[in-house]
Amino acid sequence: MTKYQKLFYEIKKTNDYKTVGEDIQFKVFVNHGTKEVILQFEESRNSNNFRHSDWFHNLLFFPWPLKLDNKIVWTTFGYACAYKSAGNIPIDEFDKATSDYWNYKWIIRGWSFGSAMTKIAERHFYIRRNAAIDEELTYGDVKVWINPFVYFLSKKWHKECHNFVCINDLVTWTIPSFFRHKKCRVGGKISLKKILQTEYNHCHYEEYDYSSYE
């Protein structure tokens, strides 16, 4: 596997996430071998309580203000509710870990619904610390911001960014008229046949070719 294939596989196969709030799965860990502090968010998952499921949050995509410490940012109603429900626990843990290991690389990454939490957490970290993370990495990326100039604004929130999307993965289409940080397309050209296999496309980002980004 190549670098980005391996990183997606790590997110996909992690099985010791913490669950907080309305089914927000995250993990903060330190890799001393690579000298990295990582905040990682899981994909959308099914819940017995639809009100607390990730898909419930994905579909509520009308604009809504979210207070991150002392600043209001505008995202979707669903993602604002989801992030708020976590009670700052993920960002507090990441904040502490990055303070303890200030000389390590700081990374926030996620898949699917987790890509939304990744980008909001990154913005929150910048507001709190006035510091950029080293890398933002998302797969099956969804849009979270209203501001059409967020690509330029987000450059001060991270040093490196990849928001990977497959044109045949309909999950990445779910939030119309919103914007992401940096669209990185993988998975070839659009195909009706492949679109009908969108669940497979969304769950197998380890199979795509990332050579143009590595």
Domain positions in the chain:
3-213
What are 140's two structure tokens? 């099956």
pLDDT score recorded for residue 60: 73
Q: What is the pTM of this model?
A: 0.94
The correct CATH number of 3-213 out of 3.90.120.10, 3.40.50.300, 3.40.30.10, 3.40.50.1820 is 3.40.50.1820
Please list, in sequence order, all residues whose beta carbon lies within 8 angstroms of the beta carbon of residue 125, skipping any fewer than 6 positions away: 91, 94, 95, 98, 108, 131, 133, 157
* Among 157, 135, 147, CA closest to 40: 135
Alpha carbon 162 to chain centroid, angstroms: 10
Give the Cα separation of 183 and 127 in Å (integer): 23
Q: Please compute Rg for the chain using Cα positions.
A: 16
From first to last of its 214 residues, the chain has per-residue pLDDT tens of: 999 999 999 999 999 999 999 889 999 999 999 999 999 999 866 544 434 455 566 667 889 999 999 999 999 999 999 999 999 999 999 999 999 999 999 999 999 999 999 999 999 999 999 999 999 999 999 999 999 999 999 999 999 999 999 999 999 998 889 999 999 999 999 999 999 999 999 999 999 999 999 9
* Among 124, 123, 129, CA closest to 155: 123
